[in-house]
Amino acid sequence: MKPASAKTGMTTNRWTDSKEALDLLTRQKAIWPLLKQNYAAYKEIATKYVIAANKNIAIQYNPSRITSVTVDPQKRKAPSACLICPDNLPPEQEALPMGENMLLLCNPYPIFPEHFTIASRQHVAQNLMTPFLYYLNAAKCLSDFTIIYNAPESGASLPDHLHFQAVTSSLMPIESEFEEHLGSIIEESSRAVLRSLMQGNRSGFIIESADATEALLLYHHLRDALTAAQDRLTEPRMNVFCKYLHKQGWQIIVIPRKAHRSSHFYAEGEAQILVSPGAADIGGIIITPRKEDFDKINAEHIEAIFEEICYGEHEVRTLCEQHFSS
Ligand SMILES: [Zn+2]
């Protein structure tokens, strides 16, 4: 294990809270030109709204995301070229501890009014299995934010380095819309429940739990089912959204995926739309780095993209029948 660099501090078990995160963002805007410039550009960003399959969708024209949207997910990055390895952070970047294994960083390419990366101190591949309790604790400590996770081949632009993202809460339509789509109970324990989420062409699952260990157990069962259903050797394709509510505990939405990108990304000429959906897009904020795609994309495109990438209600039902006993 490489020692933590001087800039990212000693190994400490302290966890940063929401207020400290916001203070970090204020400090970074004052001293880091790239971040300041991209946040200023974000404020002026064009957004348009459509209804696709009866759901609210925001489309964001964000040119700063062109690199992450077009990145080749198969191309492995060495630690020396990794943008979030502690030793490679730009000199202006300040990191705060998220327990002894992770760091809170400001994301210099924001797609939310507040956008942080919670990165492992070590260069290890994206996989939520081992750090799941860290994920839950990050959501609890940063309870003003929603914590999102992109599995490999599910929109992650940095699949080689374990990270979550903390983003402004309640901006993604899925965060409120899911409540109308709670499906049947798949498994439950004394303080936790796993249900299906039947929301059309972005169906999936939700774990609600007041206890971290019980949430972990249900997550393991769900993950095993998805791994088997997707015939994966590594982590199943999925996007995860987690919010901690002081009265109820954790809400963890898991949207399984069939593909990293839809055919629109690979089409040529007029038919091409450069959208590479990660959690934000699946949550209802579609990021278009090119103006022509922002102008062109409509409800039919979005419905088709979700249909190619996500599970429909029938696929969730089939998965439950085949991989859960009840
Ligand atoms: Zn790295």
Q: Is residue 178 part of a domain?
A: yes
Q: Are 264 and 273 in contact (CB under 8 A)?
A: yes
* Count of domains for the chain: 1
Q: How, if at all, do strands 285-288 and 55-61 pair? A: parallel
CA dist 129 and 220 (Å) reads: 8
Q: What per-residue confidence (pLDDT) applies to 7?
A: 55
Q: Which residue has the tokens 């490999």?
A: 152
Coil, strand or helix at 120: strand
CA of 131 to the centre of ligand 1 (A): 16
Q: What per-residue confidence (pLDDT) applies to 4?
A: 44
Q: Is residue 134 part of a domain?
A: yes
From the number of C-beta atoms within 10 Å of its C-beta (0-12, 13-18, 19+), residue 69 rates as buried
Instruction: Fill in the DSSP letter of residue 236.
Output: P
Q: What angle do CA 268, 273, 278 make, to 5 degrees?
A: 130
| Backbone phi and psi for residue 209, each to the nearest 5 degrees, phi listed first | -155, 140
CA of 225 to the centre of ligand 1 (A): 29
> Digits of tens for pLDDT over the chain (326 positions)?
344 444 555 567 899 999 999 999 999 999 999 999 999 999 999 999 999 999 999 999 999 888 878 877 777 777 888 999 999 999 999 999 999 999 999 999 999 999 999 999 999 999 999 999 999 999 999 999 999 999 989 987 788 999 999 999 999 999 999 999 999 999 999 999 999 999 999 999 999 999 999 999 999 999 999 999 999 888 999 999 999 999 999 999 999 999 999 999 999 999 999 999 999 999 999 999 999 999 999 999 999 999 999 999 999 999 999 999 75
Q: Is residue 267 part of a domain?
A: no
CA of 106 to the centre of ligand 1 (A): 16
CA of 126 to the centre of ligand 1 (A): 10
Q: What per-residue confidence (pLDDT) applies to 72?
A: 78
Q: Are 157 and 261 in contact (CB under 8 A)?
A: no
CA of 122 to the centre of ligand 1 (A): 7
Q: Which domain holds residue 197?
A: 14-260+309-323
Q: What per-residue confidence (pLDDT) applies to 156?
A: 75
Residues sharing a CB contact under 8 Å with residue 37, sequence separation 6 or more, in sequence order: none
C-alpha count within 13 angstroms, C-beta hemisphere, residue 258:
16
CA dist 16 and 275 (Å) reads: 33
CA of 1 to the centre of ligand 1 (A): 13
CA of 124 to the centre of ligand 1 (A): 7
Q: Which residue has the tokens 């299906």?
A: 196
Q: Which residue has the tokens 């190619």?
A: 308
Q: What per-residue confidence (pLDDT) applies to 173?
A: 97
From the list 129, 125, 124, 123, the residue with the least C-alpha distance to 152 is 125
Q: Is residue 303 part of a domain?
A: no
Q: What per-residue confidence (pLDDT) applies to 11?
A: 63
CA of 152 to the centre of ligand 1 (A): 14
Q: Is residue 107 part of a domain?
A: yes
Q: Which amino acid, 309?
A: I
Q: What per-residue confidence (pLDDT) applies to 158?
A: 85
Q: What per-residue confidence (pLDDT) applies to 1?
A: 37
CA of 85 to the centre of ligand 1 (A): 4
CA of 51 to the centre of ligand 1 (A): 38
Coil, strand or helix at 229: helix
Neighbours of ion ligand 1 (CB under 5 A): 82, 85, 123, 161
- The packing angle between helices 132-141 and 212-229, to 10°, is 130
Q: How, if at all, do strands 96-98 and 163-168 pair? A: unpaired
CA of 242 to the centre of ligand 1 (A): 23
Q: Is residue 8 part of a domain?
A: no
Q: Is residue 36 part of a domain?
A: yes
| The model's pTM | 0.95
CA of 119 to the centre of ligand 1 (A): 9
- What is the domain-level CATH number for residue 205? 3.30.428.10
Coil, strand or helix at 172: coil
CA of 82 to the centre of ligand 1 (A): 4
CA of 227 to the centre of ligand 1 (A): 25
Q: Are 96 and 20 in contact (CB under 8 A)?
A: yes
Instruction: Fill in the DSSP letter of residue 116.
Output: E
Q: Is residue 49 part of a domain?
A: yes
Q: What per-residue confidence (pLDDT) applies to 3?
A: 41
CA of 79 to the centre of ligand 1 (A): 5
Q: Which residue has the tokens 């901006």?
A: 171
Coil, strand or helix at 228: helix
CA dist 130 and 143 (Å) reads: 21
CA of 308 to the centre of ligand 1 (A): 30
What residues form DSSP beta bridges with 287?
60
- The packing angle between helices 18-31 and 33-43, to 10°, is 110
